[in-house]
Structure 1
Amino acid sequence: MRAAVIERHGAAPALVDRPSPAGLDGHALVTTTAAPITPLDILCATGTSYFGAPALPYVPGVQGVGVVAAASSLPGGTRVWFPTTAGMQPGDGSMAEQVSVPESELVALPGQVEDTMVAALGLSAVAAWMALTWKGGLQPGEQVLVLGGGSVVGQVAIQAAQLCGARRVVAASRSTGAQDRAASCGADAVVPLRDDDEVDELAAKLAAACDGDVDVVIDPLCGVPASAALLLLASGARFVNLGSSAGQNATFASAIVRSRSAKILGYTNNEIDTEQRGDALSTLLQHAAAGRLTVSHEIVPLDQLPHAWQRQAQGLAERRIVVDLT
């Protein structure tokens, strides 16, 4: 079979021929049809993530979509989504024509959503949904601010907030393309972010776009955008951080957090169990099948994976890249 293999930390994967994975008890053999290139894949492959440097060589890909070739719990031909621990623990990931996956991790898929769309949504969509509903506790009629609204997390958070009955959803995004994606997802207002933003100035722009104080903030950015958003919290607000692409640190005013009994919360997909993850993904795919949820993405064939990987690693990919392995 063909597979993408990381042979050196920090380098793009090479396409090689490998034997198909051996059968293991409790594992399914899945023929992969689609796999996204995610920021976590890139980070793990550098060898600098908090998981430590992965043993080489290995097949990257922390999630994928495919068809069951052999399993004890599902019939052959069942379409599934699956996670892997590639780059975080020893073992191979989804960017190969076949992969061995614990059967307990498989999520059977509805027929109405294309494999590449499922891959584009995946764990980023789960993070957005769970950060908003489970961790952030969004209630109908509340106002939501989504930082990084053009990312997959941001796009899903905007749409999910509307599906959950938010009265107003404001997004903030850096590039023109990201702003357009946030707007196309239905954000009521989109605030541009700049590299030279000052906290107070950005807070004023965000406040002007919002209808009063903000009840829930979804923050995959941290840095200056988070510091500005923290100034806008309503009484009982929930600020949920799930990333740091704009900076490792943010500041908050103690008086605002205390006087408004606001909650500053962290979220990671590592804190939810297999059942929660599967339920969240199934719910998201039901919305996608009904035309209520989508994300902008780019599809590339396996032969173009090394070049696409480099574009993602260099920050040149505007949209989520999904590798088509069919």
Structure 2
Amino acid sequence: MHAIVIREPGDADVLGWDEVPDAEPGPGEVLVEVAASAVNRADVLQRQGFYDPPPGASRYPGLEVSGRVAALGDGVTGWNVGDEVCALLAGGGYAEKVAVPAGQLLPVPKGVDLVEAAGLPEVVCTVWSNVFMLAGLRPGERFLVHGGGSGIGTMAIQLASALGSPVSCTVGSEAKAARCRELGADVAIDYRQDDFVEHGPFDVVLDNMGAKYLARNVAALAPNGRLVVIGLQGGARAELDLGELLRKRAAVHATSLRARPLDEKADIVRSVREHVWPLLESGRVRPIVDRTVPMSEAARAHRLLEDGAHVGKILLTLEK
């Protein structure tokens, strides 16, 4: 088979479409013939040498795919060869085939295109596990997501709005603000010109910036507010005002999804299938795809992601 390999840490040109050994399903795994994968910020960090896959995971980038079941490993039940699926991965999605733990497999939602489904698993599992399972966002609570035009942002806006929360987001342009409002954001804040703290307080904040926004995120929290940090685009070290957290009875959570144990990922996937898949099948929530790029041109897709002009997901396609 072919896969995108990282020949050495560096810029997008280090990505190559090379012939590699075929993927094979182990016990409890399903082999998926890939139709599409998606580009995530974690893939860029891995390419740059800053985010190695967890032990035992594929060295090829790619945290989500869609495709068709090609083979079943020992002990797998509930799936059949030919089923259209999408999957959450710890790596290996930039390839023609990938072996997936059966607990991380999801059916393609009814009404969703097979290729577009590749943009669902990572963002849906990230948003659902952090905003709803961990932070416990409830209907009527005010929610802020940073990077509203990103894959995470566009999904977080839709889910929080569909489940009854007033939604605010930060964006870098009026064009992105307009798209976010179309998806359900009540307020889109241009971070280049406005301070999101002045639009608070918020009950839950989902943050991808880390250190750069930490103090202001805490300042923006309501009493009993919850801040969830899922990225470090703005650095990893900052001072935290514990006094302000105590006064607000607030909490700060820092989490990642990729390296979680298989049973935790399976629990998240089960919850997503129960709570989010009906919203997708009803059309209340949908995958937001900025564009598709042939998988062999993954370097171009990485440049597009790093340019930051996209809204939603950039997909890598193999579907004929």
Q: TM-score range by the shorter chain?
A: 0.7 to 0.9
Moved more, 171-180 or 123-132: 171-180
SS, match of residue 136 in structure 2: coil
> Residues 18, 257 of structure 1: CA spacing in aligned structure 2 closer, same or farther, 3 A cutoff?
closer
Aligned residue type for 1:157:
A
Counterpart of 2:69, as a letter, is V
User: Among residues 257, 276, 297, which one is paired with 2:290 in the alignment?
Assistant: 297
Which of 290, 307, 311 lines up with 2:304 in the alignment? 311
State yes or no: 1:219 paired with 2:207: yes
Bigger drift between 107-116 and 129-138 goes to 107-116
- Residue in structure 2 matched with residue 134 of structure 1 by the alignment: 133
The Cα offsets for residues 188-242 of structure 1, whole Å up to 9 and x where unpaired, read as: 1111112xx7xxx72xx542x34xx321111122244442232122221111111
Quick one: which amino acid aligns to residue 36 of structure 2? A
Match for residue 243 of structure 1?
231
Tell me how far apart the structure 2 counterparts of residues 132 and 186 of structure 1 sit (CA, whole Å). 16
Residue 277 of structure 2 corresponds to residue 285 of structure 1: yes
Residue 62 of structure 1 is matched in structure 2 by 63
CA distance in 2, matches of 1:179, 1:95: 31
Amino acid at match of 2:34: T
**Alignment counterpart, residue 262 of structure 1, candidates 250, 253, 265:** 250
Deviation at 1:317, TM superposition (A): 5.3
Q: Which residue of structure 1 lines up, in the alignment, with residue 171 of structure 2?
A: 173
- Secondary structure of the corresponding residue to residue 253 of structure 2: strand
Consecutive unaligned residues of structure 1, counting only runs of 5 or more, are 87-92
Partner Cα distance (1:2, 1:62) in 2: 17
- Structure 1: distance between partners of 2:146 and 2:106: 29
Q: In structure 2, the residue corresponding to 1:157 is in which secondary structure?
A: helix
Alpha-carbon distance between aligned partners in 1 of 2:56 and 2:29, rounded to the nearest angstrom: 22
- Give the TM-score, by structure 2 length: 0.84
**Deviation readout 1:25-56 (Å, 9 max, x if unpaired):** 4432221011001111121222222658999x
Instruction: Give yes or no for contact 1:118–1:285 (8 Å, CA) kept in 2.
Output: no
1:19: how far off?
4.9
What amino acid sits opposite 1:244 in the alignment? L
Deviates more, 1:29-38 or 1:262-271: 262-271
What residue number does 1:31 align with? 33
CA distance in 1, matches of 2:219, 2:267: 32
Once the two structures are TM-superposed, the CA of residue 154 in structure 1 deviates from its matched residue by 1.6
The gaps in structure 2 that reach 5 residues or longer are none
CA distance in 1, matches of 2:212, 2:3: 40
Name the CA shift for 1:51/1:80 in 2 (closer, same or farther; >3 Å).
closer
Query: Percent identity of the aligned residues?
Result: 25
Within a 5 Å distance, the mapping from 1:1-326 to structure 2 comes to 1-10=1-10, 11-22=13-24, 24-49=26-51, 58-71=59-72, 72-73=76-77, 74-86=79-91, 93-166=92-165, 168-194=166-192, 202=195, 206-207=197-198, 209-210=199-200, 213-269=201-257, 270-271=259-260, 273-282=264-273, 283-294=275-286, 295-312=288-305, 314-316=306-308, 318-319=310-311, 320-326=313-319
Moved >6 Å (runs of 4+):
52-55
Instruction: Assess if the C-alpha contact under 8 Å between 1:47 and 1:53 holds in 2.
Output: no
Deviation digits for residues 118-170 of structure 1 (CA, Å, limit 9, x no counterpart): 2212212211122111111112221112222221212222222222222x221
Q: Secondary structure at the match of 1:115?
A: coil
Corresponding residue pairs, total:
307
How large is the RMSD of aligned CA atoms in angstroms?
A: 2.8
Task: Decide whether aligned partners of structure 1 residues 148 and 38 sit closer, same or farther in structure 2, where only a CA change above 3 A counts.
Answer: same
SS at structure 2 position matched to 1:160: helix
- The letter for the 2-side match of 1:292 is R
**Alpha carbons of structure 1 residues 233 and 3: separation in structure 2 relative to 1, 3 Å:** closer
CA distance in 1, matches of 2:179, 2:115: 18
Q: TM-score, normalised by structure 1?
A: 0.83
Change (3 A) 1:95 1:317: farther
Determine the C-alpha separation between the residues in 1 that align with 2:60 and 2:216.
40
Aligned 8 A contact 1:125 1:152 in 2 = no
Q: Distance in 2 between matches of 1:21 and 1:265?
A: 36
Return the alpha-carbon distance in structure 2 between the equivalents of residues 217 and 185 of structure 1.
18
